[in-house]
Amino acid sequence: MLTSVDPDVMRALGDPLRMKIVTLLARETLCTTHLVEETGAKQTNLSNHLKVLREAGLVETEPCGRFTYYKLRPEVLAGLSEQFATLAQYARTAGENKRSCP
């Protein structure tokens, strides 16, 4: 069944810095300090991007003392991957299903 891709997830992944954050979190769970070091972004800017990723459901937080760690939710990316695979499958046969013009 063809389902639509979550626009919040797509918007969140559409930003280069957020995509960099997702790529880093795919390797390991990191705190904001680590992400600032890895990306070179200012902490306030990074916090705003992490908020977008959290609200889209792509990352979750894990408090640890005075730090907050961020980890990727792989099931969300797996679901997105399945949706794109389904779209690709439909696209393979789309040429056979040509709607005639009025």
Total domains in the chain come to: 1
The CATH number of whichever domain residue 12 belongs to comes to 1.10.10.10
> What is the widest separation between alpha-carbon atoms in the chain?
66
Question: pLDDT tens, 31-71?
Answer: 999 999 999 999 999 999 999 999 999 999 999 999 999 99
Q: SS3 for 12-57, per residue?
A: HHCCHHHHHHHHHHHHCCEEHHHHHHHHCCCHHHHHHHHHHHHHCC
97 is a domain residue: no
Query: Would 18 be classed as within a structural domain?
Result: yes
Residue 100 lies in a domain: no
Rounded average pLDDT over 89-95 = 80
99 in a structural domain: no
Cα distances (angstroms) measured from residue 91 to each of 2, 47, 96: 11, 38, 10
Task: State the pLDDT confidence band at 2, using cuts at 50, 70 and 90.
Answer: low
